Amino acid sequence: MDHGRLRNGLRAVWIIVVVWLELGTFRFALHDCRWPDSRQPHIPNSRVVRILVIADPQIIDRHSYPGRGALLSALSQSVVDLNLRKSWNFAFRRLRPNAVVVLGDMMDNGRLYMSTSEYEAYFTRYQGIFNMGDSPPPVYYLPGNHDVGLGNLAPFSLEADMRYTSHFGPRNYRRTIGNHTLVFVDAPALIEEDLLRAERGHTFESWSAISHGPVEFVKQTASTGSPSPVVLLTHIPLSRPSDASCGPLREKGTIRQGYGFGYQNTLSDEATEFLLQSLKPSLIMSGDDHDYCEYEHTITSSDEKVQEVTVKSISMAMGIRRPGFQLLSLTSTVPSPDRITQTPVPPPLHTLCLMPDQLGIYFYMYIPLVLLSLLVLLAFNIIRVNGGTGYQTWNRKHIRQDTLVALHELPRCNSPHASDPEFFLPPAVNNSQEHHAPLRGRTYSSPWTWTFSLGGHRRRITLPNPFGNWRLRAGHRKPHRDVGVFVGLLQDVGAVAWPPIFVLLATSWWVMQW
């Protein structure tokens, strides 16, 4: 077995694996991710607005995992930030959306008490991860319970609302995009107002809505009316039966009503009915659950069906194997070039795109390959120590090469030494040295040699090996043949590991510069 080839082979395999798993898998995952309108027959005189919808980036900070030490928390933050950067940049650069919608929970702990400088650094991290270049498309945000809190709990900052509106914008608003009306409803505030309404025994019709609150906003939107289809966007999903299926694209379980510290899984039945009857949306998009879900609601007043899509989290840290995002295409047509008014084409089209399973890459790719590499190196060192034929074959091959080189370097017949009959005899060999220092073929101090043809003659360039000279000067490292299994294994692991580790760090640094 050729020692040098074994090391170089493992290095090459590891470098290819690292580049593929850290970069190639993200590009490959988006190979079939296309805008849903591109899969439909072409509509004459159509205009399409393409919106990239993400949910729950929830970038972590030092408060996210209080049970972990400072070093482990910093490592977790770096790994998750790196994964988010890769997912976002590959998706954004490939798809080039006309607009971006974020369905809340931009930060894991934006609701907590913290200094202004700490929050600014937190927000800057978010902007750095979701960088959109010099000419970014419009971005529309929704507040999530991790951004502004839910309930009057002690850890939640009284400044959370002010910080959110100053950095991300209003909490309730509507925008007309592609001749569709996008209605953004503040779900955490709606839950709080809904609880207050229920405690005082009012219906939504009789309730005196809180000024600038979500109920007042929805009533104003309904009274104004919208000639174009409405797309309702809410961070928290609408209610549904506890045994309702989420469809085949969900990883596990379903969405059930429930609540806990600073969260509630769904809106109440009354709040759901209020939104459906008031807005009569053609599509509902929500987040918060982290996993994908499709459910069909019924608008009782018209018996119409409307689909709700709960968008997957784009983060690897949200308890799902494969993060994802949603593509939304809003299509409208102009019947003739002379008319300015657009006629919408319902319903809006959407599709799910998935990113790689990052934890699966760590546990099912990197760890098995590490174990396999260790087994291969261990087997080689056991064979080497026991005088296996593989190592002897390597020695003999290089001895033959060195012998050929020595013959090639013999002087020509017109050399001044050619007349000496003893010049061509091999040098005397010290038997004691031969016994204790057998030939090993090429050593650490072997020079670097390049042979090539130039002008019809073979030329050779020989340079001293600086690493070999350093090893000889050190004087404390034994030749590989003389070390034991454990020491040899450690030397091989170090020699094999550093190139892929360097590539991993280089690619990570490159991604962080995006």
- Residue 434's pLDDT is 45
Is it true that the peptide bond before 229 is cis, omega within 30 degrees of 0?
Answer: no
Mean pLDDT of 259-272: 95
- Residue 377's pLDDT is 95
The CB-based long-range contact list for 130-138 (8 Å cut-off, 24+ gap) reads: 130/57, 130/84, 130/88, 131/88, 131/89, 131/514, 132/92, 132/100, 137/97, 137/98, 137/99, 137/100, 138/99, 138/100
Q: Where residue 454 falls among pLDDT bands split at 50, 70, 90?
A: confident
Q: Give yes or no for residue 33 having a pLDDT over 80.
A: yes
Percent over 70 (pLDDT), the chain: 81
- Per the model's pLDDT, the better-predicted residue between 461 and 143 turns out to be 143
Q: Where are the alpha helices (DSSP H) in 328-452?
A: 358-361, 367-385, 389-408, 431-436
Q: Give yes or no for residue 341 having a pLDDT over 90.
A: no
Nearest alpha-carbon partner for 169 in 130, 207, 123: 123
Distance, first Cα to last Cα, the chain: 43
Q: Give yes or no for residue 448 having a pLDDT over 50.
A: yes
pLDDT in tens, 369-396: 999 999 999 999 998 888 764 444 444 4
Q: Give yes or no for residue 66 having a pLDDT over 50.
A: yes
Mean pLDDT of 302-330: 96
pLDDT in tens, 201-229: 999 999 999 999 999 999 999 998 878 89
The one-letter amino acid at 280: K
Q: Where are the alpha helices (DSSP H) in 200-267?
A: 214-224
- Residue 330's pLDDT is 94
DSSP code at position 306:
E
Nearest alpha-carbon partner for 461 in 469, 449, 453: 449
